[in-house]
Amino acid sequence: MGAPTSATLGFPIYPAAQFLTSYEAGRGQRFYIFGTTAPYVDVVTYYKTELREGGDTVFKEPATHMFNVGRFRQETMAFPPGVTVKDWTWGGSQGYPNPKLGGQPARFPTTIMLVPAPPNAPAAR
């Protein structure tokens, strides 16, 4: 599978973020994980602007910010559609390891998880 695009996911992808992997989330949904060398605060600010919503800080340590995008429909979805940004430098960590053998950078200070609505499920706000 090639790297997903903003058009295929229905979400903006932070500029220069690298697609790392995706996982089955259940009920036809997938998690899409991206890494970036940008600071956590810059990525959160980008999504606040692009999604036109403030989201919520769900953890202070390590800093994790979630944006719910669309309505969660329990009968058709495993997870609410949205964007989660996480700071992997908390507590002196060097960052999230790059899963690509020899990939650069070796670690990502910030990760972005995108969870679109499953195909054919309405994701209206």
What digits encode the pLDDT tens for the residues 35-57?
999 999 999 999 999 999 999 99
What's residue 44's pLDDT?
98
Tell which wins on pLDDT, 18 or 27: 18
Q: Parallel, antiparallel, or unpaired for β 107-108 and 63-68?
A: unpaired
pTM: 0.89
Q: Per-domain residue ranges for the chain?
A: 18-115
Alpha-carbon torsion angle 29, 86, 110, 124, nearest 10? 40
Q: Hey, is 32 helix, strand or coil?
A: strand
pLDDT in tens, 57-96: 999 999 999 998 877 777 777 788 899 999 999 999 999 9
